[in-house]
A = this chain, B = another copy of it.
Amino acid sequence: MVPIMADNDCRATLIEVATPLFAEKGFNGVSVREIAGLAGVNVSMISYYFGGKEGLYGAVLNEQFAVLQRVAKIAHTATDPLKKFELYVRDTVARYRRNPYLLRFYAGELTNPTPCFATIVKPAIQEVVKTLQEFFTDGLSHHQFREGLEPTDTALALAGMINFYFLLEPATGELVDHSPERDEELIRHIMDIFANGVLK
Residues of A bordering B, CB below 8 Å: 23-29, 82, 103-104, 107-108, 110-113, 117, 121-122, 125-126, 129-130, 133, 136, 139, 143-146, 148-150, 152-154, 156-157, 159-165, 167-168, 170-172, 174-176, 185-186, 189-190, 192-200
Query: Which of B103, B112, B197 is close to A196, meaning CB atoms less than 8 Å apart?
Result: B197
Residue in B closest to A145 when the chains form the complex, CB atoms: B198
The 4 A-B pairs at the shortest CB distance, nearest first, are namely: A160-B164, A28-B28, A197-B197, A125-B171
Given the interface pairs A154-B193, A156-B165, A159-B164, the reply to whether A171 lies near B126 with Cβ below 8 Å is yes
Interchain CB contact under 8 A, A149 and B189:
yes
Interchain CB contact under 8 A, A200 and B146:
yes
Given the interface pairs A146-B199, A197-B197, A198-B195, the reply to whether A176 lies near B164 with Cβ below 8 Å is no
Interchain CB contact under 8 A, B200 and A193:
no
CB of A167, distance to nearest CB on chain B (Å): 6
Task: List, in ascending order, chain B residues with CB within 8 A of A148's CB.
Answer: 192
Determine how many copies of this chain the complex contains: 2
Given the interface pairs A144-B200, A200-B144, the reply to whether A156 lies near B130 with Cβ below 8 Å is no
Interchain CB contact under 8 A, A110 and B167:
yes
Task: List, in ascending order, chain B residues with CB within 8 A of A23's CB.
Answer: 111
Residue in B closest to A147 when the chains form the complex, CB atoms: B200
Measured CA separation A63–B125 after assembly (Å): 31
If A125-B171, A196-B199 are given as contacts, then 15 extra A-B residue pairs at C-beta distance below 8 Å, sorted by A number, are A25-B28, A26-B26, A26-B29, A26-B111, A104-B112, A110-B167, A110-B171, A111-B111, A145-B198, A145-B199, A146-B196, A146-B198, A154-B198, A164-B164, A194-B198
